[in-house]
Structure 1
């Protein structure tokens, strides 16, 4: 018989220039779940407050005023402060695909593949440090992908290695890049130097069309590569079970073949992100595509899209609101 498994996720677009009531509302909504996640291995498994703050001051000092504001809004507690530093958080594994079409009007396209119950689903637009930034929120102030008003766009995907080390959760590093950098060169330099706790691939493009992907991993400087596509491995396959489950090789091969086509258009590339093997329906296994996004640096626009629906946002015309997205997975049982 045919069995349809349905899941849903409420996506919200939220705009707040400085951290205030809107961010606090998000904190109250998500903190119980994040608290459980952060303490899953016990309080002693996470670093104390002072190492967290010192690491943030040492590697991303420009974020300190915002960090302190958020901690105060959250009540100023020790646990909240440690969590918001995103220093040495618990490990987490996603799938994801991303690619840059470096034409006259470049675009960064990405799919985010992850369990629906673990995704905030918040498109957040801020001006926390004098620069407009919009993107998909994670861990309450980190970003899974995003763009700033200078036309710098970034996106992350899991790097396919199980190693965990001392460093930051990479969503906060993406926030830092968009808050402080204007060009791909500046962004890749920051990504190469800031320590991360797991392996990720971060793809970057600026308004000139200059692009790169940085392979970051714990305990080593980031490896800057002039490649326009990334899925869930770096130099080679190291976690074969994950690679097989997520089809990282097949997705990467498909993107590279498309990008080698001189006739490729931005629309064609975007359309491919809604088709297999790049688009995933493996929702029951936690690797289904929860959303797709296309960031247009020269237009200051981001299109968030799903099969049959697009939700455009821009710095000039950002529209707060909600969209309930339904996900379905058909499985044939014999």
Structure 2
């Protein structure tokens, strides 16, 4: 199976909101996203009024951006409800992430997910006057990213089946990058934002201060000084998922590397491109689709695959595409 990764630059808009490049890409992806969004029936999803109210209550700084985005997406009820990311259908992923133990703030992560359910879009924006680059999810959210203040963020699934009332975590990452400049600010936001499932969010800023937040819909957020996150939180709570994704083994592998002498950044990144961190479980929906590297000091995002690197500057412009092949089933 082959994925075409695209780099989309939406950073030259006149009013600081979503532009033509974003609207075109949303139109291309919307039919598939709508099928996913309504798979449990449209009535299973929150109304437009409750979705917009959730953003106004918890993320008022991006309410205007949300309104503009819903309008550029066509102004329809379903599109607006989807873009709010409020109480979406449940979904699972794998993923490993860690902060390089060297002097520069570098965040490295593997994204393990189904290639059939992935945007394969790197999106650069200057919405609301804030420069952001990252891996898009739903054309509003991000699964990892960095902003022009030097804040980098990434997520992993938290390994719990509980579903509650809250936002899909990709919008939480977008909110952090639109509104926060330091790890302290991001930790405060993560402590109050409601999430619909359990996720781990790792944050590092330009001063190399970092935290990992354990988010959950049914208990308070825990802010830790962990430099590593895989697919459980303080302990394993879903044993079959943990065995299948080898979350404990991956965490131990990364923690062991962090306790050794500081290795060069290229060696550390190279470890993500090999087992046990690199997964080939594509047929089961948990294969490694890419390794992302955020070099905060250089304002540079990199996508790595075995034998290939794509460098994408935060300050842009970006564009083009890369074709990546994966085993159909493994």
- Shorter-chain-normalised TM-score: which range? over 0.9
User: Shift of residue 76 of structure 1?
Assistant: 1.0
Matches of 1:267 and 1:84, distance apart in 2: 37
Gaps of 5+ in 1: 1-6
Could you say which residue in structure 2 is the equivalent of 1:224? 223
Distance 1:325 1:77 in 2: 34
1:13 aligned partner: 7
Residue aligned with 1:191, SS: helix
| Cα distance between partner residues in 1 of 2:262 and 2:129 | 39
Confirm or deny that 1:86 pairs with 2:85: yes
Cα gap change, 1:317 to 1:57, in 2 (>3 Å): closer
Identify the residue that residue 21 of structure 2 maps to in structure 1: 22
Distance between the aligned counterparts of 1:165 and 1:263, measured in 2?
A: 41
Name the residue aligned to 2:110.
111
Partner residue in 1 for 2:266? 267
Give RMSD over aligned pairs: 1.2
**SS of residue matched to 2:187:** helix
Using the size of structure 1 for normalisation, the TM-score is 0.95
Matches for 1:75-224 after TM superposition, within 5 Å: 75-224=74-223
The list of structure 1 runs, each at least 4 consecutive aligned residues, that deviate by more than 4 angstroms after superposition, is none
Q: C-alpha distance in 1, partners of 2:74/2:281?
A: 38
1:248-288 C-alpha deviation (Å, 9 max, x unpaired): 11111000000111232322210100010000011111110
**2-side partners of 1:219 and 1:82: how far apart?**
23
| Partner SS for 1:215 | strand
What is the deviation of 1:216?
0.2
* Cα distance in 1, alignment partners of residues 313 and 301 from structure 2: 6
3-state SS in 2 of match to 1:70? helix
Whether contact under 8 Å (2:101, 2:258) holds in the other structure is: no
Tell me the TM-score normalised to structure 2 length: 0.96
Distance 1:212 1:23 in 2: 31
- Bigger strand fraction: 1
**Distance across 1 between alignment mates of 2:210 and 2:263:** 17
Contact 2:102 2:262 in 1 (8 A): no
The 2-side partners of 1:212 and 1:263 are apart by: 20
Give the structure 2 partner of residue 4 of structure 1: none
Gaps of 5+ in 2: 12-16
- In structure 2, distance between residues paired with 1:171 and 1:149: 19
Residue 102 and residue 181 in structure 1: after superposition, are their counterparts in 2 closer, same or farther (change >3 A)? farther
In the aligned structure 2, how far is the partner of 1:173 from the partner of 1:323? Answer: 27
How many residues were matched structurally?
A: 325
Partner of 2:43: 44
**Cα distance in 1 between the residues matched to 2:133 and 2:276:** 28
Q: Give the superposition deviation at 1:317.
A: 4.2
SS of the residue corresponding to residue 128 of structure 2 reads coil
Output the CA distance in 2 between the equivalents of 1:147 and 1:196. Answer: 21
